[in-house]
Structure 1
Amino acid sequence: MVDAITVRLDNVLASRLGKYLVENPSLSGASVAVRALDEYLPKADNSLSKKPSNSGGGQDEVSGREGYEFGVSAGRALASQIGELISPVATELCLPDGRRATLRTAKGRNTQWGCLNTLLERIDVVLCAFTSDGTNFDVWEVDAKVWAREARNASPGHKLHNKLTLLGKSGVRRFGKPFGNYAI
């Protein structure tokens, strides 16, 4: 199985993908290309593309990739509006008031956010952004110390057990405070 392929697109196809990307700003260029390929190429063996995750969350390889792509691209776009991006990998930023933060995103039926324990140690707040439409976000802030105390550990079967903590929407509302509304 091939892990990566580099391709050169003709101008017409690149323009069409670029237009779709402009119309869907919460996606990344890679996810737009993958969606196009998934839609129009014959499907590979379903056991390769629909493998359930170990977490039991109902996520498969495709939805997991799409969630990751959404989180990275939307998080970076939001972070650039909110403060100065320090680390695009961790969507870590410096807020205008000098506090260090990480921006976590959730969309649709996913109403929980996760944060690595190592990241919690170097930030002041976790910004939790939720969107139902992929472009308009409600953002809350949760103090990193409160997050560490109130969030639950990833389940024992999860690969990041004892390294990742999770907080749901009700917990974010209970232990955090509104930060603002943003659109990308």
Structure 2
Amino acid sequence: MERRKPCAQTKESLVTMVSFSSQLWKLTQAKLLTGKEHLVLQALASFKGDKGLFPSHTTIAIRAGCSCSTVIRALSKAYELGLVEKVARRNVHASGRIVRGTNLYTLKRIDLTEAKKLMKERTKKLKDALERKKRQFLNSFSMFQNQASHDSKSLISSKRNAHLSVQEYLSLIEVWGKESMEQKIAQE
């Protein structure tokens, strides 16, 4: 019985898959990829064949044991790190209509230090955005708080420290809301 020799493309794809797999392990150990992202990218690599790599998001999700949204997030991170490149494919239907097909993926090798550098930049951008949102919230909150303390002092001093009824508290809150909205509109 004669043994079949694997074609060159199959050997190459096997080597690519093994090296891609070891690269994924290094990135996961360096905490640049989460466990789910690792599983998704391993599942993607397992579809490598002679004609290329073009599974759908659903097919990857089934093999990785996760949802399609997890696959999309993992692939987005892989694009960002430079691990995977995609080419959108278009198919011509029998009726002549052009329809979207599955993406054609290419697995890439990257340097670990380069990946760490990219992730540091991404983390810095996210922290800066979070800090901006925090400052905006605190500024609007302090403006509201200053206005509320001013109104409550005038209302309470007019009552000479008398106990306010529920209705008076509700009207005070309503005044604060109207004044803060007027200030926001004036600022815009």
TM-score, structure 2 normalization: 0.28
Question: Which structure shows the bigger proportion of residues in helix conformation?
Answer: 2
TM-score by length of 1: 0.28
The structure number with the bigger radius of gyration is 2
